Amino acid sequence: MGMEVLSVLIRRAVEGGFISRCNIQRAASGLRINLAKSEIIPIGEVDEMAVQLGCRVGQLLAVHLGLPLGAPNKAVSGWDGVEEKVRRRLVLWKRQYISKGGNLERKAHLVKWEVVCGDKEKGGLRIRKLTLLNKALLGKWTWRFACEKEALWKQVLMAKYGQEGFGWRTKKVVGAFGVGVWKEILKEAGWCWENLAFKVGKGNKIRFWTDLWCGDTVLSQSFPHLFTLAAHRNATIEEM
């Protein structure tokens, strides 16, 4: 209550011209304002006020979101300071997280990757090995090409690269541009075909001797002497 009454009395004294705010501050702290060392930050027209007080006119130095307040945001030059700060910070980040040789510094791991990929019952996280997973996913496209007869993407590949082996696969991909994806997939086709077996239907697209359709081994390996004597080694089951 007493502070409120004092505040009202001081405000009325200031409004009546008996005292000024500067005098109140000076009387309370014992300090005087050195106008020769003071500046007025321009917000509007302050030149005349600066002349009357005898101080300099300064500039607004406050920064908000990396830009000085009052700067023209649409001007390209206004962003020079921000760009330079980003460059300095990038240099600092690179020095902290990248080694001198430019390679990422690998820290010692506490658990073997084989354990991490193991079953949860054995203390692992059951994370799949990325190398084998990538190999399996690439090989799956070889299997899909052989099985999905009417798929549009298969028709596009056959028109672009041609086909061989009764349409089970495309021809070898050649060229340097626009073929990278399918070329990488075909790199995994070898092991994929070695582990694929055919289910016999009409038999007109399965080679009798060299395709896996009977047992776990192709007949050319199970009966090498008969294969040597065969007159048509690329004959289909239907032709036999």
Q: Measure CA of the first residue to CA of the last residue in the chain; give whole Å.
A: 114
Cα–Cα distance measured from residue 122 to residue 112, given in angstroms and rounded to the nearest whole number: 13
- According to DSSP, residue 187 is labeled T
Amino acid at site 124: G
DSSP 47: H
- Residues whose CB is less than 8 angstroms from the CB of residue 202 and which lie 6 or more positions away in sequence, other chains included: 238
The DSSP H or E segment spanning 139 is: helix 130-147
Structural contact between residues 208 and 235, judged by C-beta atoms closer than 8 angstroms = yes
Window from 22-26, 69-73, 158-162 with minimum mean pLDDT:
22-26
* HSE-up of residue 26 (Cα within 13 Å, Cβ side): 8
Q: Residue holding tokens 């081994």?
A: 217
Residue 230, class by beta-carbon neighbours within 10 Å (0-12 exposed, 13-18 middle, 19+ buried)? Answer: middle
- Using one digit for the tens of pLDDT, what is the confidence trace for 74-132? 777 767 777 888 888 888 887 766 655 555 566 677 778 888 888 888 888 888 888 88
- Average pLDDT (49-58) is 69
Separation of alpha carbons 73 and 118, rounded Å: 56
State the virtual CA torsion across 147, 152, 155, 160 in degrees, nearest 10.
-130
3-state secondary structure of 237: coil
Higher pLDDT, 40 or 232: 232
pTM above 0.95, yes or no: no
- Collapsed DSSP state (helix, strand, coil) of residue 164: strand
In the chain, the amino acid numbered 92 is L
Mean pLDDT over 48-77 rounds to 67
Q: Report whether pLDDT(157) > 80.
A: yes
**Cα 215 to Cα 198: distance, rounded to the nearest angstrom:** 10
Q: Distance between alpha carbon 96 and the CA centroid of its chain, in Å? A: 20
